[in-house]
C-alpha cells in the first residue's frame, strides 16, 4: 500500500478528462487559424484563450508559477516554452503552439507545429515542413504503440525508431512527456526515446501526454534570458507535437483530438475506442 496517488484513473475520472481535452483541441484550432505572416504571437495567445473560455474552461498554463499566458509560442530555433508577445510572425517561420485547458479540475495538454508558407524560399519551407511532419508522425507512432504496449517506455522506442528511419533528425532529451489528470504534469515521465527501464505497466487508467520534440541539428538546448524559452544551441529549427491519451478497458482514446485520434491512427492500424 502506498499513500501516493495512483497513476491510474477510474473510467469516471477519464470521462471527466474529455471536456478539457476538447477545450484544448479547440484552442489549438483557434491558434492555428490565427497563425499568419504579420500576426503577433500574442494574437495567437488571445485566440486560444477565447476558445477555452467559450467552452467553460480555463487556460491551465496560467496556473504554472510565473507564467501568464494561455499558450507557449515557440518560433524556429525556439523549441518549447516560448512566451507570447510582440514578436511578429514572418513567412517561412516554423511556429509551435502548446496549449492546455482545465475544466472541473481536470486537465488537457496538446501542441502542434506549423510552417507559414513562403513562396520565395521553397527549400527552407520544405525542410521545416518535413521536420514538422516527422515530429507529428513520430507522435502518432508513439500513440499507436501505447495502444499495444505492455510497458510505457515502449512509446519512446516507437518514437525513436520512427524518427531515426526518416533521416538526420535529433530527438530532444532535456524535456519529456508526462502523466496528466488533476494536475497538468503528473507522474510518470513519458520518454520520447529509448531508455533502459521498462516504465510502468500500460493498463486501463493510464493517461499520458506524449510530446516529442525533434530538431534539425544538435539536441543541445539552452534557456533564453526570459527564463522560459528553450532554444536550440545551434540555432537550427525545432518542432513539437503533443496529445493527451487515455488507456481504458476497450482501447485508447486521444483526449485532445475531436475524433479520438482516428484519422492519425488509421494508417497505423489502430482504431481508438470511446471511454465507456
Cβ nearer to Mg ion, comparing 109 with 160 = 109
Q: H or E stretch including 226?
A: none
List beta partners, residue 115: 94
CB of 208 to Mg ion, least distance (A): 10
- Single out the residue of 170, 225, 29 nearest to residue 112, CA to CA: 29
Q: How far is the CB of 111 from Mg ion (least distance, A)?
A: 7
211 is in an annotated binding site: yes
Site for Mg ion in 157-216 (CB under 5 A): 209, 211
Residues within window 205-234 making contact with Mg ion, judged by CB under 5 A: 209, 211
- Smallest gap from Cβ 221 to Mg ion, in A, equals 16
Look at the block and give the residue holding cell 496517488: 5
Q: Which residue has the cell 516560448?
A: 82
Residue 53, all three cell numbers: 473560455
103: contact with Mg ion by CB under 5 A: no
| DSSP 8-class letter at 5 | P
| SS3 per residue for 59-77 | EHHHHCCCCCCCEEEEECC
Looking at residue 197, the DSSP 8-state letter turns out to be: S
Q: Is 109 in the site for Mg ion (CB under 5 A)?
A: yes
Residue 80 interacts with Mg ion (CB under 5 A): yes or no: no
Nearer to Mg ion, 74 or 92 (CB): 74
Contact in structure between 151 and 247 (CB atoms under 8 Å): no
Residue numbers in the known binding site for a divalent metal cation are: 98, 109, 178, 211, 242
What is the contact surface with Mg ion in residues (CB under 5 A)? 109, 209, 211
Binding residue numbers for substrate: 81, 185
What residue numbers does the annotated binding site cover? 81, 98, 109, 178, 185, 211, 242
Amino acid at each position: 500500500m502506498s499513500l501516493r496517488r495512483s497513476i491510474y484513473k477510474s473510467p469516471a475520472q477519464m470521462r471527466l478528462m474529455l471536456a478539457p481535452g476538447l477545450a484544448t483541441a479547440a484552442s489549438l484550432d483557434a491558434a492555428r487559424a490565427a497563425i499568419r505572416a504579420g500576426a503577433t504571437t500574442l494574437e495567437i495567445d488571445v485566440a486560444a484563450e477565447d476558445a477555452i473560455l467559450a467552452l467553460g474552461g480555463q487556460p491551465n498554463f496560467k496556473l504554472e508559477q510565473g507564467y501568464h499566458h494561455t499558450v507557449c509560442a515557440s518560433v524556429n530555433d525556439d523549441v518549447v516554452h516560448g512566451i507570447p508577445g510582440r514578436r511578429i510572425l514572418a513567412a517561412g517561420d516554423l511556429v509551435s503552439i502548446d496549449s492546455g485547458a482545465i475544466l472541473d479540475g481536470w486537465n488537457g495538454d496538446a501542441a502542434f507545429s506549423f510552417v507559414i508558407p513562403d513562396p520565395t524560399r521553397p527549400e527552407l519551407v520544405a525542410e521545416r515542413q518535413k521536420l514538422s511532419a516527422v515530429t507529428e508522425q513520430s507522435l502518432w507512432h508513439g500513440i499507436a504503440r501505447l495502444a499495444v504496449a505492455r510497458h510505457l517506455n515502449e512509446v519512446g522506442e516507437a518514437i525513436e525508431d520512427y524518427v531515426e528511419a526518416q533521416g538526420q533528425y535529433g530527438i530532444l532529451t532535456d524535456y519529456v512527456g508526462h502523466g496528466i489528470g488533476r494536475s497538468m504534469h503528473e507522474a510518470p515521465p513519458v520518454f520520447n526515446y529509448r531508455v533502459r527501464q521498462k516504465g510502468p505497466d500500460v493498463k486501463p487508467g493510464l493517461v499520458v501526454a506524449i510530446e516529442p520534440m525533434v530538431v534539425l541539428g544538435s539536441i543541445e538546448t539552452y534557456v533564453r534570458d526570459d527564463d522560459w524559452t528553450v532554444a536550440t544551441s545551434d540555432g537550427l529549427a525545432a518542432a513539437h507535437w503533443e496529445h493527451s491519451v487515455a488507456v481504458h478497458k476497450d482501447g485508447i482514446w486521444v483526449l485532445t483530438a475531436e475524433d479520438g485520434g482516428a484519422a492519425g491512427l488509421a494508417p497505423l492500424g489502430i482504431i481508438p475506442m470511446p471511454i465507456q
